[in-house]
Amino acid sequence: MHKESLLPVAANLSMTGQNADGWYPPGHGDIYASFYNSGLLDQLIAQGKEYIFVSNIDNLGATVDLHILHHLVSQPNGKGCEFVMEVTDKTRADVKGGTLIQYEGKLRLLEIAQVPKAHVDEFKSVSKFKIFNTNNLWISLPAIKRLQEQNAMDMEIIVNPKSDPKDCKFPISLSIFPFPPHPQTLDGGLNVIQLETAVGAAIKCFDNALGINVPRSRFLPVKTTSDLLLVMSNLYSLEAGCLTMSPKREFPTTPHVKLGSSFTKVGTALLPLLSMRHEYLTRFESIPDMLELDHLTVSGDVTFGKNVSLKGTVIIIANHGDRIDIPAGSMLENKIVSGNLRILDH
């Protein structure tokens, strides 16, 4: 909508032509209305289904846990639990994650975008707000139907300014998303704001809602190539459809990985090699051994050969105009590598 007038940008329901820039995703809180209006909700209820498990598409740790489902259907006194939100312990990396609060006798989801600036530091406190929302949700299908028919699905509107698509954390070389992140300013210079609702914000509408503290392994989002490097490494293995931490890792926590702008795009083998020089996949002949890694920072034009091993804290910085090729078979342990290192074919 217009930032100044607060009126919709689109002049009509058409999604083409001049109206194309006027539409954007309304946030995942739209799932309830879409689920109901599509007829899928009634279809699942008619099949005898009672609950739906919902999670973010980028959370590779979100799998169906039958222990949680058993807890849902075995509430005492026949008092059914209509909504369960999986939460997990907050770390320094999760300070912006939404948390659960109790207000007027109901559980509510509090997002950082809803917190006044004067209290943001308090919201980010790991000691005061110890858990955050993984967005793994278990929801009663009959309850969704009841709330939709009563028009009682009340979710707060979140004003969520978006950055320019070129600044997106995880741009893909080939466009696979129907709606890219929406800029605050349209091509014509019009200032806009984006309004969203969050799927977890509906927790206050359901009866006997619960938050369940789950292991951190159930929250494994891949939003950046830094996240992607972790799940592609030998830190994880796929067992029965679940990504599990390798038992060979001494500590259960994941390393802190920060890859620079030269690793931002994932890349694809469909593009010529020269056009891929700044893309993630072409910078690794094989993914390094990271079982004993604590921290990795990579900045600049850096490539990794086969069978590289990283341990402890490793920092690799190629300054502007320099290039660093980590040789095949290298073992870097608690090292800082900078300057210019080229490995040339002969």
Residues annotated as catalytic are 223
Sign of CA dihedral 32, 158, 194, 179: negative
Tokens matching residue 32: 């309830």
Q: What is the Cα–Cα distance from 58 to 271, expressed in whole angstroms?
A: 25
Question: Which residue(s) pair with 335 in the sheet?
Answer: 314
Separation of alpha carbons 222 and 231, rounded Å: 8
**Whole-number Å distance between alpha carbons of 171 and 281:** 13
H helix runs in 224-310, sequence order? 225-232
| The two three-digit tokens of residue 126, written as one number | 């790991």
Structure tokens at 64: 């169906």
Q: Are 58 and 221 in contact (CB under 8 A)?
A: yes
* Helices H / strands E in the chain, number of each: 6, 16
**Cβ–Cβ < 8 Å for 157, 196:** yes
